[in-house]
Amino acid sequence: MGVLAIGNVYILQLESSTPYSLVLMTIPKHAIMTCLSVFTMLMAAGVSAQDNQVSKAKPSLVEFDKALKLTPNLENGKKLYRLCVTCHGPEGWGDDNGSYPQIAGQLTGVTIKQLADIRAGNRDNPIMKAFSSRRTLGGPQEIADVAGYIASLPMTDYNGQGSRRYLDMGEEIYSRDCADCHGVDGEGDVKKHVPRIQSQHYSYLERQYQWIRNGRRQNANKEMVEQIQGYTLKDERAVLSYTASLVPPEEDVADPDWRNPDFPNHKRGWRPDPTNHDRSRK
Ligand code: HEC
Ligand code: HEC
């Protein structure tokens, strides 16, 4: 595995024989040390090209079905979440530059599905893949446990925002084309495993959306892919800015200075900035 750094962009060369060989990630400067320790952890976990190929040959759909039926053990989920804090943060709020998504409050079934998909190679993220591997995370019960713990974390609505200029236009597109599946307030759909996208960081939404549109994210919902093909760049920015501006119900949201007491001593990366919380429409 080789690493090539160009400014804030790191290119990781994992192996040359798979479509996943080149990964581009923007990593905030403060996270560079984090990343180094992650590499060490990956090495320690013995993550290799072989692991990737084995899991690609055996998609974990069976595990996904099993995990969905299990009752999450939140105490064990908390322990397993230690594997995730480095990148997603102790609060699960990610980073407003979009490198890491807010995963706090995500519907349990959605996290289970995403983990199973990442494991099976249906989402193009080898680093996440290593952390969701059976060897590192465990089987269906462990997937359910960590997903349940993540669902129990309160969210932040101080997420990264898009342009506030086209929010009216975005609202129109959202209610016409997205609300049926993702819910009027972006709350998601438990039964259909449609992700909760309210208060997701704008830059993350943009990346996923583009990967869904151009097929890089292979687990995408086909109807959604068709739906968004005709959008202009302005439509896209408008609808995603509106999505990022949607807020969860008050009871699911924590104060911006809340710290997860389960991880009192963990060094925090990105934190909500209470001076930068403009919700007005321009
Ligand atoms: C080395 C950093 C890193 C670690 C450690 C990590 N993740 Fe991630 N995770 C990411 C990145 C980066 C993404 C975004 C992937 C993309 O852009 O497709 C992600 C995406 C996800 C997603 C998909 C979210 C969505 O909205 O689609 C879930 C769920 C997730 N991670 C859960 C976990 C869990 C659970 C753990 C611990 C077992 C974990 N992650 C550990 C970096 C990490
Ligand atoms: C037919 C139902 C449907 C429609 C319509 C739809 N989506 Fe989706 N969307 C989904 C499903 C299902 C997923 C999860 C796919 C998967 O498992 O990866 C998803 C995933 C996403 C994601 C990635 C979320 C994440 O956490 O990774 C974004 C962003 C998104 N949709 C935005 C939108 C927007 C914006 C619209 C309207 C322009 C829209 N969707 C319309 C069903 C839909």
d(CA 143, CA 68): 9
Q: Confidence band (pLDDT; 50, 70, 90) for 117?
A: confident
Judge contact between 19 and 215, C-beta under 8 A. no
Give Cα 23 distance to the centre of its chain. Answer: 16
CA atoms within 13 A on the CB side of 170: 25
Tell me how far the alpha carbon of residue 128 lies from the centroid of ligand 1, in angstroms. 5
35 lines ligand 1 (CB under 6 A): no
Residue type, 165: R
Which one is predicted more confidently, 52 or 226? 226
Token pair of 168 as six digits: 């009216």
Ligand nearest to the CA of 10: 1
Q: Is the CB of 45 under 6 A from ligand 1?
A: no
Give ∠ CA 280-260-124 in degrees, rounded to 5.
Answer: 75
Quick one: pLDDT at residue 30? Answer: 41
Mean pLDDT of the chain: 81
Higher pLDDT, 24 or 98: 98
Position 22 scores a pLDDT of: 34
Looking up tokens 């997701």 gives 200
41 lines ligand 1 (CB under 6 A): no
Between residues 148 and 61, the one the model is more confident about: 148
Q: Is the pLDDT of residue 14 over 50?
A: no
Give the pLDDT confidence score for residue 131 in this predicted structure: 82
Q: According to the per-residue pLDDT averaged within each range, which of 120-129, 211-220, 241-250 is highest?
A: 241-250
What strands, in cross-sheet order, belong to the sheet with 2-6?
A: 2-6, 9-13, 22-26
Atom of ligand 2 nearest to the CA of 106: 26
Of all ligands present, the nearest one to the C-alpha of 95 is: 1
High-pLDDT (> 90) share of the chain, % = 57
From 88, 153, 214, give the residue whose CB has the most ligand 1 atoms within 8 Å, as the site to mutate: 88
pLDDT, tens digit (0-9, with 9 covering 90-100), for 241-258: 999 999 999 999 999 999
Rounded CA separation 146/95 (Å): 20
Q: Which ligand is nearest to the CA of 80?
A: 1
CA atoms within 13 A on the CB side of 111: 27
Confidence class of residue 147 from pLDDT cuts 50, 70 and 90?
very high
Pocket test of ligand 1: the residue of 87, 96, 106, 153 to mutate, having most ligand atoms within 8 Å of its CB, is 87
Which residue type, as a one-letter code, is found at position 269?
G
pTM: 0.84
In which band, very low, low, confident or very high, does the pLDDT at 60 lie, cut at 50, 70 and 90?
low
| pLDDT score, position 215 | 84
* pLDDT tens digits, 172-198: 999 999 999 999 999 999 999 999 999
**Alpha-carbon span 79 to 81, nearest angstrom:** 5
pLDDT at 282: 61
